[in-house]
Amino acid sequence: MKKDITQLLKISSICQNLTDEQIDRLIQNNFISFAQYNRNEILFWTDNKPSNLIILLSGGVAMGKNTHDGKRVLSTVNTNIGELIGEVRLFSDKKLFWDYCVALKYSEVLEISSEILLNPLEKYADIQLILIQNMMRIFVRKFEFLSDKVKILSFSSARDRIAFYFLSMQSKDQQVIFTETREEIADYLGMARPSLSRELGRMQDEGLIHIKGNEVIILNQSLFKNILE
């Protein structure tokens, strides 16, 4: 099982650059544990800092909040294997909008004790340095994501939002590869999926893009960039 956990940890961005020996030290000293949660079981409440950071292995979890009339409001469901959960509350002194993290179906996770990140431990200084560096990278990526999200939502039209998204995602050969579903892309762009599909169809009809499966090729860069001017 230890070997399995070592390989599973390497999936997560928080454990990048840790050696097998360093991961073994964490496991042997009980900084890492395996846990299972049934549907609707609470992983942690946000009233206090979580005692563990969570790496999702299977299933799906979301942040939740109960309204005064008894309804439950949920964030986007997280089903990404290796995703780190709970790091924002761990490093924030402010209470979050969300009240808890809940499993929406049977889920398996690895839990990393927050002690290894919050308390200086001379014996584990080499590991802590790597973990903190990885945590900074995670926060930077999330900041960049939110910055792009704010920029996207500042555009009034669907075409502007799509153009900004494609230009920021395209490769050197002017291709955009969809790694998300259209529904997920539409949600990110703040529009309904049918609206996204209609606008993509219009842009293809006008010769701005060519869509083939999960690939989009920008056919005319200058015209495409003019959309945002």
Clarify whether residues 28 and 91 are in a common domain.
yes
User: Is the model's pLDDT at 28 over the cut of 70?
Assistant: yes
State mean pLDDT over 108-120.
Answer: 91
State mean pLDDT over 94-117.
Answer: 89
Task: Please count the other Cβ atoms lying within 10 Å of the Cβ belonging to residue 8.
Answer: 20
Clarify whether residues 221 and 170 are in a common domain.
yes
**Which domain range does residue 165 map to?**
152-226
Residue 207 lies in a domain: yes
Percent of the chain with pLDDT over 90: 33
Clarify whether residues 116 and 12 are in a common domain.
yes
Clarify whether residues 156 and 99 are in a common domain.
no
Task: Provide the β-strand partners of residue 82.
Answer: none
User: Is the model's pLDDT at 2 over the cut of 50?
Assistant: no
d(CA 221, CA 227): 10
Residue 146 lies in a domain: no
Token pair 């979580």 in the structure block, residue? 50
Rounded (10°) angle between helices 158-169 and 193-205: 80
Q: How far is CA 118 from CA 14, 46, 94, 96, 140, in A?
A: 14, 17, 16, 19, 19
Residue 201 lies in a domain: yes
Which of 37-41, 99-103, 133-137, 149-153 shows the lowest per-residue confidence on average (mean pLDDT)? 149-153
103 — pLDDT class (breaks 50, 70, 90): very high
Beta strand pairing call for 52-58 and 84-85: antiparallel
Task: Please count the other Cβ atoms lying within 10 Å of the Cβ belonging to residue 196.
Answer: 21
Give the pLDDT of residue 221: 79
Examine the fold and report which residue of 103, 120, 140 is the final residue of a domain before the chain moves on: 140
State mean pLDDT over 83-112.
Answer: 87
Clarify whether residues 48 and 86 are in a common domain.
yes
Clarify whether residues 25 and 127 are in a common domain.
yes
Examine the fold and report which residue of 83, 118, 140 is the final residue of a domain before the chain moves on: 140
Clarify whether residues 159 and 124 are in a common domain.
no
145 — pLDDT class (breaks 50, 70, 90): confident
1 — pLDDT class (breaks 50, 70, 90): very low
Residue 226, Cβ density class (10 Å: 0-12 exposed, 13-18 middle, ≥19 buried): exposed
Clarify whether residues 179 and 219 are in a common domain.
yes
User: Contact at 8 Å (CB) between 162 and 169?
Assistant: no
Clarify whether residues 25 and 135 are in a common domain.
yes
Task: Look up the CATH number of the domain holding residue 164.
Answer: 1.10.10.10
User: Contact at 8 Å (CB) between 25 and 72?
Assistant: no
User: Is the model's pLDDT at 172 over the cut of 80?
Assistant: no
Clarify whether residues 211 and 156 are in a common domain.
yes
Residue 133 lies in a domain: yes
Higher per-residue confidence, 78 vs 37? 37
Helices (H), the chain: 2-9, 20-28, 87-90, 115-118, 125-154, 158-169, 182-189, 193-205, 221-226
Clarify whether residues 122 and 23 are in a common domain.
yes
User: Contact at 8 Å (CB) between 213 and 181?
Assistant: no
pTM of the model: 0.69
Write the pLDDT tens digit of every residue in 61-88.
998 998 888 788 888 788 888 888 888 8
Task: Look up the CATH number of the domain holding residue 122.
Answer: 2.60.120.10
d(CA 102, CA 184): 21
Examine the fold and report which residue of 116, 140, 164 is the final residue of a domain before the chain moves on: 140
User: Is the model's pLDDT at 162 over the cut of 70?
Assistant: yes
